[in-house]
Structure 1
Amino acid sequence: MEGCVLTFNSLIQKDPLILSKISLTPFNETPLHISALLGHLNFTKQLLIHKPKLASELDSRNRSPLHFASAEGHAGIVQALLQENHQDIIMCFTKDEDGRIPLHYAAMRDRVDVIRLLVSAQRRSIFEMTPVGETVLHLCVQYNHLEALEVLVESVGSENGEFLNLKEQAHGNTILHLAVMLKQIKTVKYLLSLPEVRSEAETSVNHKGLRACDLLVGDDDQFPRDFKSLKIQCILMDANLTSSQNRDKPGNNKQLAASKRKKKSGGFFLRRWWRKLKELLKYKGQWMDDKRGSIMVVATVIGTMTFTTAMSPPGGTWQETTIESFNGMFKCSKENMCLAGTSVMAQLNPDTYSIFLLCISLSFLASISAILLLVSGFPIKNKICMWLLTMAMCGALTFMAIAFLIGLRMVSPNSMVEIYIFLVFSWFGVLSFVCLLQTIRLLVWLVRKLCGCCRPKKKKKKPIENTED
């Protein structure tokens, strides 16, 4: 409780096993929990020297010492815990019984220095969500911590529109929705300064079908209720965001007429369908994290199937070396012997068998390429890596389907094969659509990146300080 290192050393001298006996006591917290909570840095370091395992011990609510230190903002203790035996991977992703990791508590308490340490140790922890689907950005807005929000947005990248516009599960609100509802003027102004948030604000709706700009005015209100609402409404109007109610008011006839003229033009419909296409092309939630294991299993199964088929081809193999032809069907001779263990179908129909073997080989190579991408440590969430993974899986499935059709034709009568041709080609159409969709996603991302690089950087204007509470 006092953080006295001298007393601790004397206790260790009297009983060297005193720290090992902690697990036999009925207490919920270990001494490291208490030391991290109270901010005793030297005492914490001594505990980690004598028993490093204490860093991964959890209390009755599944909270680690890193949870306590992060919540209280003890940056020195957080750094000591992260450096101990390289346990940052385990500790940064440890969730308590409420489903929160240490970074969540640091964001809720606006511990900016701790946030920087946790993100530098494990950047992927930013993308961890609570059980109700809230991101760490949602927590920053809920507790009105703008500085912490700015640090996290800078860490994740302001161009990551997919993450910045994620919706929580309960009501489908983005961080802009929350900032407008909570009337956080500075936060709204900051979020609208981000191009990715501003571009989605016009079309992004919550579960009630409301945009962020529709949350200011109630159904029976003619004007905003207070000064903060009026201020936020002005900020939204400066960003060309107007609520549907304001559009229908008599005082906005000129804007309404201009809007109608704009809708009549072809450019409006193009932009409207373009926004819908962008919404369709978005990756929803943490799709790759949820399906990574399933993709690995599917790729492994395809690789196993194609390998087995290549080693045990349709029609079987020669059981013994043969040099005589049977009824003229096979071309076995002394110059061209049918060797034991080789494919029978390769002698009977060499051209078709070559195509079959090529398809099996391509499917096998595509599947092991997908496995290599998943285990290589490359950032799979990157658009290019995700496109390569999708193309590899589509290629593996395509060539496996072609090999199936060819193999069926080699071992079945022609009349039976015709039944499957229509179904297989229909499936090719679906697969082509998936490949086209993924390619469009990649091209849209590349075009936006190139446009962002070619666009001249604007000089940053100093933000106007608000005097409101």
Structure 2
Amino acid sequence: MNPLILLKNAAQNGDVNKLYQAIAKDSNVLEHYDKTSFAETPLHIATSRGHINFALEIMRLKPSLSKKLDEQGWSPMHVALQHNQTSMVHRLIETDPTLVGVKGREGFTPLHYVVQNDGVNLLREFLAVSPHSVIDTTNKGKTALHIAAEKGNTRALEALLSFLGRSWYREALYWEEKVVNWKDENGFTVLHVAVTMNDIQVVKSLLNSKINVNAKSLEGFTVLDIVDRANNNPDMKDVLIQAGAKHSDVMKTYDINAIPSMKQVSFEPKPTLLDNVIRFLKGQKTNISTETRDALLVVAALVATATFQAVLSPPGGLRQADSSDSDSLPFSKEIMVPLQIG
């Protein structure tokens, strides 16, 4: 039998023995795929069918195949996601975390795929093993945040914002603001997208971040302009104006000062002790080592935990506890992942 046919059959059945039979017939059988620009490799076939052992054997023998694109423009990781092979995905990223950021068709990465399909659990795992992937963009300049807003995937968007807000690597403040305010090919930030989609829940989530509420698109429109042009949603307009949104010089359809007074709404959540420490550490861009940051974070967590215990069991009983703290626990259980950028 032709070695390539034997290898394809082996991949379809997950048969490692037949894999080595094909290699015995032609020791360069795997090299065939390296010489082809785009091809459905045995790894594509194995990942689509969930043959984990076979897939890992191929990756060990020929690591380059893990990033090879098939004729449709997808990597083996993309194919595993498309076929809901979750266990396969976990094993792939354990073997090579960089697969999270492999760009396939139209610049879509596996991270973009899970955001598009609201795969929050996988999203968190992807960010943990490959934090750099949060800054990847598609061919149209869209970040994962843009995609989440377009699809109305609020959980995915909030997971991304939480990751950006709680990361404490060097220059984290800069990158948090940079990613949140990234503009796509139309000059749209994620807030422009959320307003265009008329998704007030996503808009409110974004207003808790470092979003520039008056950023302009390539045509010069702000988000308040878009509300008037697209949907004229009064609730959306109120929320944006309360956050400081203004009309651009390109389009001023009415006097903002003439709008009736609105109920004062605060979009800024009460920061916890740990949040404040993280913010402090983010600001120390050059004068503090990574080891010192680690130590300070551990101390902050211990202090926050002690504070939490004190709130639960204050001296003299619960009656003397400050009731204003009851709605905001001083310690977050959320895992923070250091991100080394730059």
Partner of 1:363: none
**Does the aligned pair in 2 maintain the 1:71–1:106 contact within 8 Å?**
no
Partner of 2:76: 65
Show CA shifts across 1:382-410 (max 9, x none).
7654799xxxxxxxxxxxxxxxxxxxxxx
User: Against the structure 1 CA distance between its residues 136 and 189, is the aligned structure 2 distance closer, same or farther, given a 3 Å change threshold?
Assistant: same
Show CA shifts across 1:24-47 (max 9, x none).
378821122123234444553454
Q: Which of the residues 202, 205, 220 maps onto 1:187?
A: 202
Residue 140 in 1 paired to residue 157 in 2? no
Unaligned runs of 5+ in 2: 1-7, 167-172, 262-281, 289-323, 330-342
Q: Between the two structures, name the one with larger relative contact order (CA 8 Å, sep ≥ 6).
A: 2
Show CA shifts across 1:272-303 (max 9, x none).
xxxxxxxxxxxxxxxxxxxxxxxxxxxxxxxx
Aligned ranges for residues 90-169 of structure 1 at < 5 Å? 91-96=99-104, 98-157=106-165, 160-168=176-184
User: Against the structure 1 CA distance between its residues 95 and 142, is the aligned structure 2 distance closer, same or farther, given a 3 Å change threshold?
Assistant: same
Aligned ranges for residues 391-430 of structure 1 at < 5 Å? none
SS at match of 2:106: coil
Task: Using the TM superposition, give the Cα deviation of residue 175 of structure 1 relative to its aligned residue in structure 2, in angstroms.
Answer: 0.6
Query: For the pair shown, which has the larger CA radius of gyration, 1 or 2?
Result: 1
Aligned ranges for residues 212-223 of structure 1 at < 5 Å? 212-218=223-229
User: Against the structure 1 CA distance between its residues 208 and 458, is the aligned structure 2 distance closer, same or farther, given a 3 Å change threshold?
Assistant: farther
2: CA distance between counterparts of 1:104 and 1:253?
A: 39
Task: Using the TM superposition, give the Cα deviation of residue 457 of structure 1 relative to its aligned residue in structure 2, in angstroms.
Answer: 7.9
1: CA distance between counterparts of 2:14 and 2:225?
A: 62
User: Against the structure 1 CA distance between its residues 136 and 458, is the aligned structure 2 distance closer, same or farther, given a 3 Å change threshold?
Assistant: farther
RMSD of aligned residue pairs (Cα, Å): 4.0
Q: Which of the residues 197, 210, 219 maps onto 1:196?
A: 210
Q: Which of the residues 215, 218, 227 maps onto 1:207?
A: 218
1: CA distance between counterparts of 2:283 and 2:200?
A: 34
Aligned ranges for residues 156-305 of structure 1 at < 5 Å? 156-157=164-165, 160-168=176-184, 170-192=185-207, 194-197=208-211, 200-201=212-213, 203-218=214-229, 229-239=233-243, 241=245, 245=252, 247-248=254-255, 252=258
Show CA shifts across 1:414-443 (max 9, x none).
xxxxxxxxxxxxxxxxxxxxxxxxxxxxxx
Unaligned runs of 5+ in 1: 256-381, 389-455, 462-469
2: CA distance between counterparts of 1:136 and 1:181?
A: 17
Aligned ranges for residues 315-394 of structure 1 at < 5 Å? 384-385=284-285
Task: Using the TM superposition, give the Cα deviation of residue 141 of structure 1 relative to its aligned residue in structure 2, in angstroms.
Answer: 1.4
User: Against the structure 1 CA distance between its residues 211 and 64, is the aligned structure 2 distance closer, same or farther, given a 3 Å change threshold?
Assistant: same
Q: Which of the residues 66, 82, 87 maps onto 1:76?
A: 87
Partner of 2:303: none
1: CA distance between counterparts of 2:178 and 2:325?
A: 23
TM-score of the pair, normalised by structure 2: 0.59
User: Against the structure 1 CA distance between its residues 230 and 28, is the aligned structure 2 distance closer, same or farther, given a 3 Å change threshold?
Assistant: same
| Structure 2 residue identity aligned to 1:88 | P
**Does the aligned pair in 2 maintain the 1:110–1:148 contact within 8 Å?**
yes
Show CA shifts across 1:118-155 (max 9, x none).
21112112112233332221122122222111112222
Count residues with an aligned counterpart: 253
User: Against the structure 1 CA distance between its residues 248 and 48, is the aligned structure 2 distance closer, same or farther, given a 3 Å change threshold?
Assistant: same
Task: Using the TM superposition, give the Cα deviation of residue 116 of structure 1 relative to its aligned residue in structure 2, in angstroms.
Answer: 2.0
User: Against the structure 1 CA distance between its residues 9 and 129, is the aligned structure 2 distance closer, same or farther, given a 3 Å change threshold?
Assistant: closer
SS at match of 2:47: helix
User: Against the structure 1 CA distance between its residues 42 and 231, is the aligned structure 2 distance closer, same or farther, given a 3 Å change threshold?
Assistant: farther
Partner of 1:34: 45
2: CA distance between counterparts of 1:190 and 1:210?
A: 21
**Does the aligned pair in 1 maintain the 2:12–2:49 contact within 8 Å?**
no
| Structure 2 residue identity aligned to 1:196 | K
| Structure 1 residue identity aligned to 2:109 | I
Partner of 1:88: 97
Task: Using the TM superposition, give the Cα deviation of residue 180 of structure 1 relative to its aligned residue in structure 2, in angstroms.
Answer: 0.3
Task: Using the TM superposition, give the Cα deviation of residue 209 of structure 1 relative to its aligned residue in structure 2, in angstroms.
Answer: 2.4
User: Against the structure 1 CA distance between its residues 68 and 387, is the aligned structure 2 distance closer, same or farther, given a 3 Å change threshold?
Assistant: farther
SS at match of 2:87: helix
Considering fraction of residues, name the structure with more helix. 1
Task: Using the TM superposition, give the Cα deviation of residue 237 of structure 1 relative to its aligned residue in structure 2, in angstroms.
Answer: 4.4
**Does the aligned pair in 2 maintain the 1:5–1:46 contact within 8 Å?**
no
Task: Using the TM superposition, give the Cα deviation of residue 97 of structure 1 relative to its aligned residue in structure 2, in angstroms.
Answer: 5.1
| Structure 1 residue identity aligned to 2:190 | I
TM-score of the pair, normalised by structure 1: 0.45
| Structure 2 residue identity aligned to 1:116 | R
